[in-house]
Structure 1
Amino acid sequence: MKNSLAVISGGAVGASFRGALGTVLNGSPIATFLVNVIGSILLGFFYQHVKSNARLSDPSKKFIATGLLGSFTTFSTYSLDLLVYLKEGRFLALGLYGGGSILAGILSVILGVSLAKKVRRL
Structure 2
Amino acid sequence: MWQKLAWIALAGAGGTLSRYALSGLVQNLCGASFPWGTWVVNGLGCFLFGMIWALAEERLLITGEIRFIVLTGFMGAFTTFSTFAFEASQFLRDSEWLLAAIHLIGQNSLGLVCVFLGFAISQII
Shorter chain as denominator, the TM-score bin is 0.5 to 0.7
**1:30-49 residue pairs with structure 2 within 5 A?**
30-49=36-55
Alignment of 1:1-122 (within 5 A): 1=1, 2-24=3-25, 25-26=27-28, 29-54=35-60, 56-75=62-81, 79=111
Specify every segment of 5 or more residues in structure 1 that has no aligned partner in the other structure, as ranges: 88-122
Q: Which runs of 5+ in 2 are unaligned?
A: 82-107, 120-125
Give distance in 2, aligned partners of 1:8 and 1:59.
14
The two structures, once aligned, show a CA RMSD in angstroms of: 2.8
Which has more radius of gyration?
2
Deviation at 1:23, TM superposition (A): 2.0
| 1:7-56: CA deviation from partner (whole Å, max 9, x where unpaired) | 10110111100000222214751111111100000000011111024464
Q: What percent identity do the matched residue pairs reach? A: 28
Paired residues, number: 82
Q: Name the TM-score, length of structure 1 as normaliser.
A: 0.54
